[in-house]
Each structure stands twice: as C-alpha cells, then as structure tokens.
Structure 1
Amino acid sequence: MSSSLIDDARFRPFHRKMFALTAGGQFLDGYLLSIVGVVVLGMSQDLGMSASQEGLIGASALVGLFVGGLVFGRVTDRIGRQLLFTLHFVVIAAASVASMFVSDPTLMVVLRFVIGIALGADYAIGSALLSEWLPTAQRGRVMGMLIMAWFVGATAAYLVGYTLISTVDSGAWRWALGSAAVPAVVFIIARIGTPESPRWLLSRGRVEEARAVLTRVYGTDATTEAVESLVADERGHGLGFTEVFRGAYLKRTAFVGLFWLLQIVPLFAIYTFGPTILSAFGMSGGGDSIIGSALISVLFLIGCVPALRLIDTWGRRPLIVWSFALMVIPLAVLGLMPAAPAAVVLACFCAYALFSGGPSILEFIYPTELFPTEVRATAVGVGTAVSRIGAAIGTYLLPVGLDRIGVGPTMLIMAVITLLGFAVCLTMAPETRGRRLAEASSAGTPGPAPADRPARVTTR
C-alpha cells in the first residue's frame, strides 16, 4: 500500500494544537453539564422549583445536544467543518451570561436547551475535524483523550461551584452558571483561523483547496503524489444522510447509538445529580457531597489512562466489552446495599468511574472510524443525538426516582441499563485497531486488525 500523507505522518505541533482546540469543546461540555448539578439545590430554593422542574433543567441541555448533534452533524458534512468550528461558542458564551439573570425556571430550561444545541454541534464538528487530520498511529489515543478534557471540565465545575458556594453569600448559582462564558470566549479567539479538513475538501472535489491546506501544514511533504493518494482515498461517493441508516452502515449506526446511550444514561445522571445522590446515601449535603463528586470526577479522568494505553494494543472490541461487564458490578452493589457505609458508597462510585474509561474514550473513536468523510459528522451527530435523548430521559427521571422509589432501586435500574450495554457490545462491537481512516470506514465490516500490522509512522 502506498504511503499516505496524513495517515503516515509524524505527530506534529499542528496536531497538538488541533487536539487542544477540539478538547476545548469537551472541556466546556463537561463544565456546563456538571455545574448545574453543583448549584441545582441553591437554584431550586431561590426559584421555588419542584423535583420535576429540577429534572427538566438537568435534562434540557441533553435534549439540546440531541437537536444540535442531529442537525449540525449533517450541516457540517454539507458546508464544511471550519466555518462552524467557532460560531457556536458565541452562542454558549451569550447563553451562559444570560443565565445569571434568570428569575423563572422556564427561561432557565430554554437557555440550557440552547446551550445543549451548541454543545451537540461541537461534538459533530470537532471530532470529525480532528480525526480527519490525525495519523493512524496516534488516532485512537488522541481521539480517546478528548473525553479526558470532558472530565477536567466537570472537575473544574465542581471546584468552581464549591468555591462560589463557600464564598458568596447569596446567588452563588448565578455566578457559577455565568462563569462558563470565560473559557468560551478564550476558545472563540483560539479557534479563529483553524484550517479546513483536506479530507472533506477532497470528498467535495475541491482538490486545489485541499492541496493548499496540506501545503500549509505539511510543507514540502505535500507532493503531487501524496495529494493524489489522498484523492483516491477520499473520492466522493454521493453519500447522504440516509446512508447511515442503510446497508453496512445501519449496523454501525445502531451499535454506536446503543453503546453510547447505554453508557451515558447512568454516567450523566451521576454527574448531573452527584451531590444529590451522595446525600441520598447518607453523606452530608452541601460541601461534603460536592467534594465527593469532585473526587469521583477525578477518578473518571484517571480511569481513562489505562484505557488509552490499551486502545491500540489490546484493541477496541475487548476493551469496550470488558469495561461494560465490570461497570455493572459497583452499580449492582449500590442497588443491593443502599444503607452501606459512606466508604463503601464512595468505593463503588470510584470503581464505576475507573471501569468506565474504555467506553468513555471510545465515544469519540468508534463514530469517526466507522463512517466515511462524506457522512462522518452526520454519524457522530446521530450517535450524539441517540445517546443524549436517552441521557435526558434518565436525568429527568433520576430525581423523581430518588424521591418515589428510593436510591437502591434507582441504582439497580442503572445496573440493568449497563448490563444491556454489555450485551450490545458483545454482539455488535467491531475492531478497527491499526486501520487507516479510509479503510476502517469503508463499507466492508471491520474485522480484527492483524497483530503483526501496527500503524506505520514515518519520520519525515
């Protein structure tokens, strides 16, 4: 097989910059979706909200993620990645500032929904753009690291929220929700001038524009032969939105949507209402439960580290299958022992966080590897949409479940959902380790990557 300019390139400072810019979106996603859980109790008191309204505020951003992923994934495949890579952050900054002045729960639901749309768009735009620039040897590890930015953002939200609650006499929740505008503005400025994906340009027949972008990044390595090799990989096939629901891609779409949904329902519920859940297990409310949630958040981050080491050696399929199997255990223990000591409760949540590393990093790897350039952002958007509508339902029902059936049965339901995720992965998960992007995303079903065929790295 001939050398590929992007797939076989060495990892450059440009790739690190693209990762940092894309990770900014995940940082904001983790921050915005977690900060509301930290301040929901104070906000509820000030605005006189019911448990149902608390659930709606927690779920509205996830419903927005459904809409944003579904709509803007397809828009990104039609008009390009670069144009939308910055604009949606303006919406996030504006809505975050507006949240500081809300006096009605309904308006808060609307603003959270708008923020969710922008975040859903970023999932599709950022992951597609980054994956299309990465060399094969680093693609799995770097794409997987995106979720670590999510957990860093979530941890930052808990720490900022705790600090504001501890230092601000009243209205701390307003400052906490508005604080997201600061990183949003930083990334608006940083993302200006980001180059378009050459793979997308080539899939649209815009060869000269792709050549100019490749020359800008790779310099003299962007030879005519190297560009022509990419042209052959990314030749357009006229694929549209419905392609992800037909033929070989239908099974991939079902797999991505289902595993993402069945992992995210418990994870987002825990993140959104972490302090509330810990309080239900008997831990003191306020600062102690927030610090406990921050600890769990850090362990979600730590759990990604061994998964990142295994993703390109052990492979995608065994990692996700065994991760789901192990995630069931701590949730089942929590469900069967709702009166367990605080140390046992925290240990179970920490174990769940550590075991969730595999599926967490694969949220960004599988959708971008299993679909071709023409529908890659569309597929990511569909996966985001399916997972987030399920997460929205779970997040909405969690406070109601805690109130009506108790914490034990609620955790058992989470364990059953995770067990279903294990069944889906066991029967449907493919292997894409060591395959070039065009090869992994072709219509043929990916099989196991040969052990003696590592991704090749050149030293240009």
Structure 2
Amino acid sequence: MASSSGLIDDAPLTAFHKKLTLYSSGGPFIDGYAIAIIGFTWATMSTSFNVTTADKGLIAAAVLVGIFVGGGLFGWVTDKVGRHMMYILDLLALAVFSVACMFATEVWQLILLRFLIGMAIGADYPIATSLLAEYLPAKYRGRMLGATFVVWAVGATAAPAVAMVCTHLAGDNAWRWMLASPAVFALVTLFLRLGTPESPRWLISKGRVEEADRSIKQVFGPGYGVEDLGEPEPATRATFGSVFKPPYLKRTLFVSLFWMCQVIPLLSIYSFSFDILGEVGITGNGAEVFLAALFVVGGIPGLFLVDRIGRKALLIYTFAGIGIIWGIAGLVPGLPVMIVFVAVCAFALLSGASNFLEIVYPNELFPTEVRATAVGIGTAASRIGAAVAVYLMPFALDKGVNWVLLAGAAISFVGLAVTLAWGVETAGRSLSQACNAGATEERQPVGSA
C-alpha cells in the first residue's frame, strides 16, 4: 500500500502514463493544425468565393471564438459529468464539422463551421489535460503535460506539408480538402482514446468511491485501491463562479492573462504566416515548414528546463526575450528581410520553449472540483483575445510588419509583468500542494487534489 500522497504523485512513469500523454496530445495537435492550415487556403478559396480582407479575418477568427466558447462551457461541463465521456464526444463532433467544410457554398457557412470546430477543440483542452494531470506523477507532471502542448507545434508543422499535397492533387478544390483534413486526425485520436479509465480523483470528488477503486485497479493493479490515494473529500461543492472568487480569483486572472499574452502573437503569426513572410519577400511553403519546426525544436529544451528552473522562471525568460527581440526589430526602418526572418525564428524558438505552460500551470493551480473549469476559462480568455488580434491582423499588415512586431513586443512585456506579479512556483510539488501554492489568503486547503 502506498503512502497517503503516494500512489499517483509518487508513482514511477509507466507505459500507461506514456500512452495517456500520447492520446491527450491529439487535441493540441489538431488545434495547431487547424489554425495553421487556414493560412494556406486563401489562394484556392478565392476561386470559389470572393474572399475579402474582412472575410479572411472572420474565417480565421471563427475557430478562435469557438475555442473561447467551447473551453469556457465544456470545462465546466467536464467538471460536472466527468472526463471520460467528454474525452470521446468532442473528437467525434470535431470530425463531423471538419468534413462538413468540404461542402460549404457560402462564406458564412465556413465561418459557422470553423466556429463549431473551434468549440470542439476548446472543449478538448480542459477535458484531456485534466484527466492527464490527475494521473501523472509529480516528478514528471511538468514535462509530460508540456509534451502534449509541444505537439501543437507538430500539428502546425504538418499543416503546410498537407497543404502542398492538397494543392498538387486537388487544384482549385484544395481548400476544401485542407479544411476537411482535421477529421482524419480526430478519428485516429478518438480510436486511441477508447477504453481510457475515468479519473479516480474526479470520481472521489463526486463521492463515487467504488468506481474510483475500479479505475485505480485497472491502472495500477488489483493490489491497490482508493485508500492508497489519500484523497480528502472536498469540504464544499465548487460551482462555475468559484473560479472568479477568492481563493481562486488571482490564479484565474494570472492564467488567463499570461495565456492570452502567449497566444495572441503566436496565433496571429500562424493564421497569416504566408502573408507576414510574403510582405518581406519570403515566399514558398518551405519557409512556413521551417518556422513551424522551430516551435518543436524550442519545445525540447523547454521540457527539460521546466522541472529544473521552474515554471515561473521559464515564463519570465521567454517573455523577456520575445519582447526585447521583437521590440528592437520593430524599430528598424525598412525592415530588411533577414531581420524579420531572424525575429520571427527567435520568437518560434522562445515561444516553443514555454508555450506548454498554458497547459501545465492551470492544471496545477486548481483542485479537482474546478480544474477543468479553470483550464476552460484560461483557454476561453486567451482565444477571445487572439480572435480579436487575428481579425485585426490583415489591417495591421496593411500598415507594415513593423507594427505587427511592435504590438507583439508590447504584449510580451504585459505577460512578463503579469508573471512577475502573480506567478507562483509549482515545480516538484504534489498536485495537492501545487493547487494550494501561493494561496496566502486561504485559511485551509481549497479542496481535493
């Protein structure tokens, strides 16, 4: 029998943990892919529709608004009905809406379908990452949760490659196949997730002790049970509004703001990567593939550093680096091609090194009763800010890339200030200790881990 904090928090890394991490990576992969692929559809889409600058902004922003709604709504639903059922249904919805994009005949239909796809993607963040966080050992939680989000960049890297194939094979209809292609990844991920056990932490928080015991035995073996978790029953039943009140309010603001400051420049670049690089003479899909690959390269050292130097320090260094580099580049008159390329590549490396903290931090800072709700709120807040930025990006590009870089620098410095003021360190702590980190205003534990 394990010690009171032991069975999950002190467990060795097993094949189950690795498979669960892989299965949970499907959502971020599709997110990165679906956002990046839109930037390659404009050329062939124009043969079917008269796509204006405003239409481009709305189509690109629709998926982000959908993530806002899906994350905010289904995070709360996941805390109510459980992780497992939602873990499957959101991917089925994503596949259906993606295929429907093939048959769109009007711009408004594309906007609606991309919004619904965004809802499904937004739902998967709180669903999959909450389930994963509630099974991972403390020693590996940062890098394994982080690995799921590094896969976001893998999805974005795959997008230009698929776009090239679709353009070669489908000609003027390539955009239809590009927008339908996320369905393939959604169905593969759905198949892999079948049979995943429900989170015992969530089951215990709902008083379903016998079911939690079965989940534990399924994962860890017949010699273990709920008594090995040492999970306290929650003192209160949290509601959706709990994350906007003490002791959670400051954590909710921190997660929402730093997440927003990371994704606004990231998603703006991915949605209009072809246009941004084209403005300074860099053309061809090869540049986008290289740029996307840099996010993956940057994520590798980040995954090793997150448990060594800590979450807060990693976030501080990367925000500062991006702000300084983009600020200097944005002030250069005329913007030589090489300076823009170096600035964007530096952003990709630094962003890749810390973007996964968007998944790690909210899952660690909130207890089981509101964990998925909090992840959903963070997802929602970040995407609505990014949606506004993506909608405005075509107009900013009309003024020149300098404006884009200076705006990105300013946003990064805001993220730096928020992290310095409100960030707390959770590295190396059990999930129960992490969700109470920095809660100085609390007089007692906030709930079960």
> Cα RMSD over matched residues?
1.7
Matched-pair contact (CA < 8 Å) for 2:209–2:226: no
Instruction: Give the partner amino acid of 1:268.
Output: L
Q: For the structure 1 residues 137 and 409, does the alpha-carbon distance in structure 2 shift closer, same or farther, using more than 3 Å as the test?
A: same
The one of 44, 58, 75 aligned to 1:56: 58
Describe the superposition over 1:212-271 as per-residue Cα deviations: whole angstroms up to 9, x where unpaired. Answer: 1101110144146414x13x2x53531111111111210000000000001111100001
Equivalent residue number for residue 130 of structure 2? 128
Q: Indicate yes or no: 2:354 matched with 1:359.
A: yes
Give how far 1:443 is off: 7.2
Matched-pair contact (CA < 8 Å) for 2:425–2:437: no
Q: For the structure 1 residues 140 and 87, does the alpha-carbon distance in structure 2 shift closer, same or farther, using more than 3 Å as the test?
A: same
Gaps of 5+ in 2: 442-449
Give how far 1:56 is off: 0.3
Q: For the structure 1 residues 224 and 441, does the alpha-carbon distance in structure 2 shift closer, same or farther, using more than 3 Å as the test?
A: closer
| Mapping for residues 25-424 of structure 1, pairs under 5 Å | 25-223=27-225, 225-227=227-229, 229-230=230-231, 232=232, 235=234, 237-284=236-283, 288=284, 290-337=285-332, 339-403=334-398, 405-424=399-418
Q: Alignment partner of 2:221: what SS?
A: helix
Instruction: Give the partner amino acid of 2:209.
Output: V
Give how far 1:200 is off: 0.1
Matched-pair contact (CA < 8 Å) for 2:426–2:437: no
- Aligned-partner Cα distance in 1 for 2:236–2:18: 31
Q: Alignment partner of 1:347: what SS?
A: helix
Describe the superposition over 1:145-177 as per-residue Cα deviations: whole angstroms up to 9, x where unpaired. Answer: 111111111110111112222443321111111
Q: Number of aligned pairs? A: 439
Matched-pair contact (CA < 8 Å) for 1:141–1:311: yes
- Aligned-partner Cα distance in 1 for 2:167–2:177: 10
Give how far 1:143 is off: 0.4
Matched-pair contact (CA < 8 Å) for 2:212–2:226: no
Matched-pair contact (CA < 8 Å) for 1:9–1:135: yes
- Aligned-partner Cα distance in 2 for 1:60–1:224: 43
Q: Alignment partner of 1:247: what SS?
A: coil
Give how far 1:410 is off: 2.4
Give how far 1:355 is off: 1.1
Q: For the structure 1 residues 338 and 53, does the alpha-carbon distance in structure 2 shift closer, same or farther, using more than 3 Å as the test?
A: farther
Give how far 1:329 is off: 2.5
Q: Alignment partner of 1:82: what SS?
A: helix
- Aligned-partner Cα distance in 1 for 2:307–2:438: 21
Matched-pair contact (CA < 8 Å) for 1:335–1:409: yes
Matched-pair contact (CA < 8 Å) for 2:5–2:430: no
Give how far 1:276 is off: 0.7
Equivalent residue number for residue 444 of structure 2? none
Matched-pair contact (CA < 8 Å) for 1:236–1:374: no
Matched-pair contact (CA < 8 Å) for 2:335–2:402: no
Aligned residues with identical type, % of pairs: 45
Give how far 1:183 is off: 1.4
* TM-score for the superposition, normalised by structure 2: 0.94
Matched-pair contact (CA < 8 Å) for 1:68–1:118: yes
Equivalent residue number for residue 455 of structure 1? none
Q: Which moved more, 1:52-61 or 1:84-93?
A: 84-93
Matched-pair contact (CA < 8 Å) for 1:281–1:339: no
Matched-pair contact (CA < 8 Å) for 2:47–2:172: no
Give how far 1:105 is off: 0.8
- Aligned-partner Cα distance in 2 for 1:422–1:300: 20
Q: Which moved more, 1:116-125 or 1:154-163?
A: 154-163
Gaps of 5+ in 1: 448-460
Describe the superposition over 1:120-143 as per-residue Cα deviations: whole angstroms up to 9, x where unpaired. Answer: 000110110100000001100100
- Aligned-partner Cα distance in 1 for 2:56–2:157: 21
Q: For the structure 1 residues 263 and 443, does the alpha-carbon distance in structure 2 shift closer, same or farther, using more than 3 Å as the test?
A: closer
Q: Alignment partner of 2:424: what SS?
A: coil
- Aligned-partner Cα distance in 2 for 1:63–1:265: 13
Instruction: Give the partner amino acid of 2:25.
Output: A
* TM-score for the superposition, normalised by structure 1: 0.92
Give how far 1:338 is off: 6.0
Q: For the structure 1 residues 224 and 342, does the alpha-carbon distance in structure 2 shift closer, same or farther, using more than 3 Å as the test?
A: closer
Matched-pair contact (CA < 8 Å) for 1:89–1:185: yes
